């Protein structure tokens, strides 16, 4: 079974890379990156404290969007041709009757098509990195980076010439030969730009290394297998045009998912964020006994007024997801009376006193012995109400692949560090979507007529 899977995947990969549309997509991505350099100037970018500054911020946004969109279209076209076209040409029936199980056939097609899309995504990303190294020519004194031109154009010309020469003399497939050469040659060219500055002087290779940009590219590449899975699932029942429409709809829906569904799925608003916490009177430091008191220092003044006796909530997410504590019974007595806090039917964490000129420090107390799952911590968010959930919006938000998870350009342009842990969580999210979508593809293909 494993050998069958590998054989189908390898044949699909070669078939995908040999398609003329594959070379067209790579050429379009290369030319668009050159055009992006010219179009990204004069956008009044002034930030100097980020990895990408001034007009290059627009180049980062537009250039990475080019990689994203071109790869999405390529995924739709490739997955359509490797499944629906085989069904139309009756070749799928020949393979399945070997016998090869339909799940193996679908998974093999997915692995081969995804490998081809990932190869294109890597090549397009290197073109983008070369454009970013050249930067936007915002003033008359700026000049083209000749190192980028030499290595970038050199890689393209060598790949095209060798592909044409091999096609003419040996019958090699031009598109696949060129693509296979572009990957290592453009990578070597980009590595050359790391060790040579624009004046052709040797420099420390980490001088132009941008770790946040690399993590951003990695997250975009993590979206490619998800989009390939969407395209494959759609192509098991639909033709090429409708598959492209579905992929475009999922892509746009995923980019708008937070705005359209996310803000309606989880409804709550944080009023402040905790800068520090301290247990004032708590023997076991768990804030679970009646009368336990903690001081919470806020990063800034709360967005809305607080008052003694008011119930509060806290959590790690600014949206209110996973709020602590839940199911509180409000307290209506005197928060400064220790006896009343013990002898009460209430179960809540309440505000005892407010401190500071800006009311950015408050003391909370446990009324009635409510036992939270954990005490508050620094960097938690403070809320004054429980979170409301909309099942319909929450379901749509969870089902549609959220492309915003893979889009981290704002973090780079705003000089926010991207933790590797986030990339790991994004990879897990990508895997979960891949398993779900491939499972759907197998189900849709199980009873598809292929004869």
CB 236, CB 92: distance < 8 Å? no
Q: Same domain for 107 and 195?
A: yes
In a domain, 392, yes or no: no
Q: Could you check whether the bond before residue 147 is cis, i.e. omega within 30 degrees of 0?
A: no
Q: Same domain for 215 and 333?
A: no
Residue 388 parent element (H or E): strand 388-389
Q: Same domain for 220 and 277?
A: no
In a domain, 393, yes or no: no
In a domain, 391, yes or no: no
In a domain, 451, yes or no: no
Average pLDDT over all residues of the chain? 86
Q: Same domain for 197 and 213?
A: yes
Q: Same domain for 371 and 426?
A: no
CB 227, CB 69: distance < 8 Å? no
52-61, 90-99, 105-114, 178-187: range with lowest mean pLDDT: 90-99
CB 281, CB 293: distance < 8 Å? yes
User: Which of 386, 406, 438 finishes a domain?
Assistant: 386
- Alpha-carbon dihedral of residues 415, 421, 423, 427, nearest 10 degrees? -170
Q: Name the residue range of residue 87's domain.
A: 2-265+398-446
Question: Residues, the chain, total?
Answer: 451
| 398 secondary structure, DSSP code | H
Confidence of residue 90 (pLDDT cuts 50, 70, 90): low
DSSP 169-207: HH---HHHHHHHHHHHHHHHHHHHHHHB-TTS-B--TTT
In a domain, 243, yes or no: yes
User: Which of 386, 410, 435 finishes a domain?
Assistant: 386
Confidence of residue 105 (pLDDT cuts 50, 70, 90): confident
In a domain, 141, yes or no: yes
* The pLDDT of residue 396: 86
Confidence of residue 184 (pLDDT cuts 50, 70, 90): very high
Q: Same domain for 348 and 214?
A: no
| 51 secondary structure, DSSP code | S
In a domain, 295, yes or no: yes
Q: Same domain for 223 and 175?
A: yes
In a domain, 32, yes or no: yes
CB 413, CB 60: distance < 8 Å? yes
Q: Same domain for 110 and 259?
A: yes
Cβ count within 10 A of residue 287 = 22
DSSP 59-117: HHHHHHHHHHHHHHHHHHHHHHHHHHHHHHTTHHHHHHTTT--HHHHHHHHHHHHHHHH
Report the domain count for the chain. 2
Q: Same domain for 348 and 246?
A: no
Q: Same domain for 167 and 279?
A: no
Q: Same domain for 359 and 402?
A: no
Cβ count within 10 A of residue 278 = 12
Average pLDDT over residues 295-323: 87
Q: Residue 417: CA atoms inside 13 Å, Cβ hemisphere, count?
A: 3
Confidence of residue 94 (pLDDT cuts 50, 70, 90): low
State both tokens at 56. Answer: 């290059």
CB 362, CB 382: distance < 8 Å? no
Q: Same domain for 364 and 412?
A: no
CB 23, CB 178: distance < 8 Å? yes
User: Is residue 154 over pLDDT 70?
Assistant: yes
Average pLDDT over residues 446-450: 72
User: Which of 345, 361, 386 finishes a domain?
Assistant: 386
């Amino acid at each position: 079974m494993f050998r069958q899977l590998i054989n189908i995947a390898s044949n699909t990969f070669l078939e995908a890379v040999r398609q003329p549309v594959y070379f067209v997509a790579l050429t379009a991505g290369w030319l668009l990156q050159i055009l992006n350099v010219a179009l990204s100037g004069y956008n009044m970018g002034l930030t100097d404290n980020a990895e990408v500054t001034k007009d290059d911020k627009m180049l980062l946004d537009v250039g990475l969007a080019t990689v994203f969109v071109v790869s999405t279209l390529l995924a739709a076209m490739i997955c359509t041709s490797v499944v629906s076209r085989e069904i139309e040409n009756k070749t799928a029936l020949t393979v399945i009757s070997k016998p090869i199980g339909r799940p193996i056939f679908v998974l093999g097609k997915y692995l081969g098509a995804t490998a081809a899309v990932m190869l294109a995504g890597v090549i397009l990303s290197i073109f983008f990195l070369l454009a970013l190294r050249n930067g936007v020519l915002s003033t008359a004194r700026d000049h083209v980076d000749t190192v980028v031109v030499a290595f970038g154009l050199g890689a393209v010309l060598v790949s095209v010439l060798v592909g044409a020469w091999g096609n003419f003399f040996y019958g090699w497939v031009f598109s696949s030969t060129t693509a296979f050469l572009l990957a290592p040659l453009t990578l070597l060219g980009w590595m050359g730009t790391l060790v040579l500055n624009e004046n052709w002087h040797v420099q420390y290779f980490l001088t132009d290394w941008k770790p946040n940009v690399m993590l951003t590219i990695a997250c975009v590449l993590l979206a490619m297998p998800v989009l390939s899975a969407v395209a494959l699932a759609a192509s098991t029942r639909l033709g090429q045009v409708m598959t492209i429409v579905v992929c475009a709809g999922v892509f746009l829906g995923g980019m708008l998912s937070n705005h359209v569904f996310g803000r309606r799925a989880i409804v709550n608003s944080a009023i402040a964020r905790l800068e520090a916490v301290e247990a004032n009177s708590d023997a076991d430091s768990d804030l679970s006994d009646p009368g336990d008191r903690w001081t919470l220092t806020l990063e800034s003044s709360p967005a809305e007024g607080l008052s003694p006796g008011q119930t509060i909530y806290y959590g790690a997410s600014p949206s209110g997801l996973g709020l602590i504590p839940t199911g509180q019974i409000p307290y209506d007595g005197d928060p400064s009376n220790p006896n009343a806090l013990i002898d009460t039917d209430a179960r809540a964490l309440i505000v005892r006193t407010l401190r500071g000129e800006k009311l950015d420090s408050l003391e909370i107390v446990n009324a009635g012995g409510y036992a939270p799952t954990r005490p508050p911590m620094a960097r938690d968010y403070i809320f004054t109400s429980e979170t409301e959930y909309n099942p319909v919006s929450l379901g749509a938000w969870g089902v549609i692949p959220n492309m915003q998870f893979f889009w981290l350009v704002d973090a780079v342009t705003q000089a926010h560090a991207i933790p590797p842990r986030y990339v790991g969580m994004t990879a897990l999210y990508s895997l979960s979507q891949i398993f779900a979508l491939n499972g759907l593809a197998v189900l849709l293909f199980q009873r598809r007529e292929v004869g």
